[in-house]
């Protein structure tokens, strides 16, 4: 049984890749968008688009011309990037790059997706992958932290603007998740100790944890949830171990 269509940006690695796997298991057709030319999947229900999401006109064109489903449609904005440097070394060009990927691309794809759902009188929802860095400050990540705060604000605003058309928009704020981007943490005793001390569950966060959350937010079980940020962080944001 086909449950609908899902569009995933950042589909070839990390959280995005796991979301694709989960929604394939759930019975969706997938349109994956990634800078990489490696679709990472050989599956009849997966179609890969090699695209830089900061090529905004190309991104909008793709969102506008995808074949949508008469069942359910989901957009997951997962493409993201970050910087690790002191604020004194953060250049305007790097700041703009972080915001282009993390915020502007999500705005344009989200707006285009919602407008297509409304125009075609279809069912659909948007899931933005934010971060606990969108709720807290963090050293040496000024642009990233600011951009993820913006993603949460964008989520609320899209939910407010399009809710009247029964289009839901939510965000997920993962904590430290083991992906290729963070793999080095797990081979550094000091970093690993910081992770365990920073959260209140003994298990480590995995991409599957975020994919399960995305599957729930796309389901009928979440039909009255919009404008929310679902935190998936093992307790990272609930307090400090004083």
Q: What is the DSSP string of 119-168?
A: HHT--EEEEEE--GGGTS--TT-HHHHHHHHHHHHHHHHHHHHHGGGT-E
Q: Where are the beta strands (DSSP E) in 11-152?
A: 28-34, 46-50, 73-77, 124-129
78 Cβ contact partners less than 8 Å away, ≥ 6 residues apart? 8, 9, 10, 11, 15, 16, 19, 129
Longest CA–CA separation in the chain, Å: 54
Task: Give the whole-angstrom CA distance, residue 65 versus residue 69.
Answer: 12
Task: Give the whole-angstrom CA distance, residue 23 versus residue 19.
Answer: 6
Task: Give the whole-angstrom CA distance, residue 240 versus residue 64.
Answer: 45
- Give yes or no: 3 in active site: no
Residue among 3, 144, 165, 196 flagged as catalytic: 144
How many other C-beta atoms can be found within 10 angstroms of the C-beta atom of residue 130?
Answer: 29
Catalytic residues: 144
């Amino acid at each position: 049984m086909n449950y609908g269509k899902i569009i995933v940006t950042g589909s070839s690695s990390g959280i995005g890749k796991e979301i694709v796997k989960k929604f394939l298991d759930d019975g969706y057709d997938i349109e994956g968008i990634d800078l990489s030319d490696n679709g990472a999947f050989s599956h009849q229900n997966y179609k890969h688009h090699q695209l830089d999401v900061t090529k905004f006109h190309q991104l909008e064109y793709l969102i506008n011309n995808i074949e949508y489903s008469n069942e359910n449609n989901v957009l997951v904005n997962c493409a993201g990037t970050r910087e690790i440097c002191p604020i004194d070394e953060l250049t305007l060009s790097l700041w703009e790059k972080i915001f282009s990927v993390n915020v502007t691309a999500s705005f344009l794809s989200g707006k285009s997706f919602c407008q297509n759902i409304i125009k075609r009188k279809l069912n659909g929802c948007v899931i933005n992958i934010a971060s606990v860095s969108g709720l807290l400050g963090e050293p040496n990540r000024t642009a990233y932290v600011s951009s993820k705060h913006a993603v949460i604000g964008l989520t609320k605003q899209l939910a407010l603007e399009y809710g009247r058309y029964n289009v839901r928009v939510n965000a997920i704020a993962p904590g430290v998740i083991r992906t290729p981007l963070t793999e080095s943490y797990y081979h550094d005793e000091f970093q690993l100790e910081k992770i365990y001390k920073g959260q209140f569950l003994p298990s480590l966060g995995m991409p599957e944890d975020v994919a399960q959350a995305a599957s729930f937010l796309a389901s009928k079980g979440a039909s009255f949830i919009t404008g929310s940020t679902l935190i998936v962080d093992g307790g990272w944001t609930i307090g400090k171990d004083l």
